[in-house]
Amino acid sequence: MKTVHNFNAGPCVLPKEAINAGIEALKEFKGSGMSVVEISHRSKDWEAVMGETEALWRELLNIPENYKVLFLSGGASTQFLMVPFNLFHKKAAYLETGVWAKKAYAEAKGLFGEAAVKVASSADRNYTYVPKQYDIPKDADYFHITTNNTIYGTEIHKDYDCPVTLVADMSSDIMSRPVDVSKYGLIYGGAQKNVGTAGVTFVIVREDILGKTGRYIPTMLDYTTHIKDGSMFNTPPVFPILIMNETLKWVKAQGGVAGMYKKNVEKAALLYNEIDRNKVFTGTAEKEDRSLMNICFVMNKGYEEKEEAFMNLAKERGMVGIKGHRSVGGFRASVYNACPKSSVEALVKCMQEFEKMLS
C-alpha cells in the first residue's frame, strides 16, 4: 500500500489495527463461515460485539450509570433534528460557532420558530473564535453547543457549567480529550473522526431528560425507541460498529482518553509552533480557541499567490487532505487520534522546506 500522510477531515485516518480487524471480519466473522456483513444482528456473537462496544464507551469516558449509550444511523445531521424533537418543550438555546452549529440551529428553528434562540454567534469574524460573553436563558429546555468546528479550526476546550441541560455535538473531538459526561444531558456525533468510520452515530443521553415533551415523536426519531431495543429497533450498521469497537480497543491500548489527549496536545503544539514561526504561513483561529483536531492556516501577507505551489509540494511529499474548506481557503490539517506524530513532523518539514525555497 502507498504510504501517505492522511490529514483528511473525515472520513479520516483510522488505526491500522482497526482496519486489519475489519478486513478479517469481512472475510469471516468469529469462525461463523460468514462475513460480518452477512450475519444476523440478533446472533449471540453480534450481541456480544454490541455489548462490548457499549462497555468500552462507558469505561473510556467514565459514563455514569444513569446514561444510555446508543448506536444509530443517519449521522450527526439527523441528530440536529432528533435533539429538538426529544428535548424541546418551550424554548431551546443554541451557540453558533460554525457551519454545523448553524445547521443544528436551523433544524430547531424550522421546527419551533422563534422559540429556538441563538444566544451568540462568531459569524461576524468568519467563525474564527468561540463567543465568551452571552446569557443562556434560564427557561431554555436545553443549550446546544458544537465543541469542535472542523471547518474553521476552533474548539471549546472545557466542559461548561450550564444552568440548563447541556447538549453537545462532539463529532470531531470525542475521545480526543477527557470529558466530564455528567455535565451534559446529551452528547452525540458521527463516528468518522475519532471513533470509527462513517455509517454509525453515537448518542450518550441521560435518561431522565427524555419523555417530557408531551407530544408525539416519530418512532425512528424517538430516543426511547432505540433505548428499549438496545440500538437494534432496526438493523444496526454492523460493519461501522465493528470498526468502532476495534478503534475503541486501540484507544484503550494507547492509554485511554488521557493518553490520547497527551499525544494530541503534542501533535497540535508541533504544528501550531511551526505556523507561528514560519514567515510564509499564519493561523486563522484565535489562539485561545485553536482546535487540537483541525489546524487551519493560510498564506501570510505577500505570499498569497504561492498557495498552489505549496499545495503541489505537499502532494509530492505525500500529504493528503490538507486543502482548506472552500469557505475558508488555505490549508487544514486534521490531526485526529489516529494521525501519527510522524505525519505532523513530515508536514512541518515540508513547510520549512517551502520557506527555504522562497528565501
Instruction: Write out the catalytic residue numbers.
Output: 100, 169, 193
- As a whole number of angstroms, the distance between CA 256 and CA 261 comes to 9
306-to-48, 104, 316 alpha-carbon distances in Å: 54, 36, 16
- Give the 3-state secondary structure of residue 181: helix
215-to-86, 218, 244 alpha-carbon distances in Å: 9, 10, 34
Virtual torsion, Cα 277, 14, 338, 178, nearest 10 deg: 120
- Give the 3-state secondary structure of residue 68: strand
- Give the 3-state secondary structure of residue 161: coil
233-to-41, 126, 165, 202 alpha-carbon distances in Å: 11, 41, 27, 15
- Whose CA is closest to 164, among 72, 89, 231? 89
Name the residue type at position 46: W
Tell me whether residue 109 is exposed, middle or buried, using C-beta atoms within 10 angstroms of its C-beta: 0 to 12, 13 to 18, 19 or more. Answer: middle
In degrees and rounded to multiples of 5, residue 78 shows phi and psi of -70, -30
255-to-135, 175, 194, 261 alpha-carbon distances in Å: 38, 11, 15, 9
Which contiguous run of DSSP H or E holds residue 6? strand 5-6
